[in-house]
Structure 1
Amino acid sequence: MIDTHSHIYLPKFDEDRAEVNRRAAEAGVKAIFMPAIDFDSLGQMNKLSHSEIDFYKMAGIHPCDVESLPDDFEEQLFGLCSKEDIYGVGETGLDYYWSTDHVEEQKRSLRLHCKVAKQVQKPIIIHNRESTDDVLDILEEEQDGSLTGIWHCFNGTAEEGRRAIGFGFHIGIGGVVTFKNGGVDTTVAQLPLEKMVLETDAPYLSPTPKRGKRNEPAFMKYTAQKLADIFDLSLEEIDTKTTETAKRLFGI
């Protein structure tokens, strides 16, 4: 399995990161992709290693960290994302849940991330919270045939999911698909499995039956099993299909 979205580098894992990684490897996780929160995230990512897991870095600024972008932001972002050891751009996107004080700057940031992603030809990771229409409109406007990426923590409608897939995006399936009464499982069932990848968003959004606890990559097996149940496939088939999709998307 490949965890396409994990903040395993955050301080919440400092005390037991080795054990967390060991459990991930035992659960079948072979690779972990790490989206950045800000430019300082890369320094934290560089400290990670584990003999049985490959770690892949991404660079960007989370929308909740966007207030005012420096004049040289695009130049800085391009400089980081063009490096060979950076495999994706983000996470970026829009978040209207925590604050709507900096909406225009969030939109500007998202567009700049899209521009850089197209320049470096790497996937972009999209965060979306209570901002679906604006996110999809911007991504569709920015799509020139070369933009690709993941709608992280998908919880939209089937129509919204099909729209994103239609202009080249993949759907990140995380713990919310396991939540009772959430309805995400019903929506996911209406979308093509070949456009889905697995993720955790660790340390956030733990799947059932670990809901309420700190999330970690090993818990992705519960999400994978839920996806297997939805599509009436074996866990091995889900692992294989989502892993192949992630490898193609990130070029590994």
Structure 2
Amino acid sequence: MVLTDTHTHQYYETDPVKKAELMQRCLDNGISRLFLPNVDSTSISQVMDMVDTYPDNCFPMLGLHPCDVKANWKQELETIYAAIKETKVYAIGEIGIDLYWDQTFLAEQQQAFRQQIGWAKAAKLPINIHCRNAFDEVYAILKDEHNQELRGIFHCFSGTLEQARQIIDLNFMLGIGGVVTYKNAGLDKVVEHIGLNSIVLETDSPYLTPVPYRGKPNESSYLIHVAQKIADLHQTTLETVARITTENSKIIFGI
């Protein structure tokens, strides 16, 4: 059984021993494919260090996280773009719009999002989208930028069934993580109506820890609990969810 974590910041752990233990727990649970998004220019080296350490298991994505779109966003984009040109990446991300914490840089977030979508189109790469309290803003840009080649993952999806279908119609897959295991989140009611061919799995480690570890730091090995919850919702096996969602990830990332 092969499980794929399409979105993890497991590189935040910098202690080599603890990092090795995290990876071993992943492999023990069948999670052998991890896709790592940076968040800004300073985190590129952390991502690449983990990719260099585990080249058979870890794959980089690079982009500018919307929460890191500040006054110096243009310089940040220049640095990140230079890094993309120098290394093999499998997606542009995570990119998007976040209006949860601060709306000061909304216009800049929109510009950065469009610019990075342009990178993805030019390089024929998927995008990994961060969207928080900004579905309408993100969807408007995606619809405007849509073409047959633009694809990717709507990371940490937690919206309605109607929103899920809107995203899927634009050739994107839903990144489902620990929130689907939360009793009162309502995401389980959406996911049970979404075909497995439109879903990929993620942890967003160290955030959004699934039940039964909620309240503790998340890690990619906990992806198995997300997969099992989805299997239960679809009345199928863990192995089936692993197989289909991993195949979906291969379609997106090309590996």
Q: TM-score range by the shorter chain?
A: over 0.9
Deviation of residue 78 (structure 1)? 4.0
Unaligned runs of 5+ in 2: none
Is the 8 Å Cα contact of residues 29 and 53 (structure 1) preserved in structure 2?
Answer: no
Aligned residue in 2 for 1:6:
8
Choose 13-22 or 207-216, whichever is displaced more.
13-22
Aligned residue in 2 for 1:19:
21
- For residues 52 and 165 of structure 1, do their structure 2 counterparts lie closer, same or farther at Cα, with a shift above 3 Å needed? same
> Going by fraction, where is helix more abundant, 1 or 2?
2
Aligned residue in 1 for 2:166:
163
| Counterpart mapping for 1:1-252 below 5 A | 1-11=3-13, 16-48=18-50, 54-71=57-74, 76-83=79-86, 85-252=88-255
Deviation of residue 211 (structure 1)? 0.4
Is the 8 Å Cα contact of residues 38 and 93 (structure 2) preserved in structure 1?
Answer: yes
Root mean square deviation of aligned Cα: 1.8
Deviation of residue 46 (structure 1)? 2.1
* CA offset digits 1:75-125 (Å, max 9, x no partner): 544443345521110101111111011111111111111111111111101
Deviation of residue 244 (structure 1)? 0.5
Is the 8 Å Cα contact of residues 157 and 175 (structure 2) preserved in structure 1?
Answer: yes
SS of the aligned residue for 2:90 comes to strand
Identity %: 39
Deviation of residue 194 (structure 1)? 0.1
Unaligned runs of 5+ in 1: none
Code of the residue aligned with 1:97 in structure 2: it is Y
* CA offset digits 1:170-204 (Å, max 9, x no partner): 10010000000110010111222101100000000
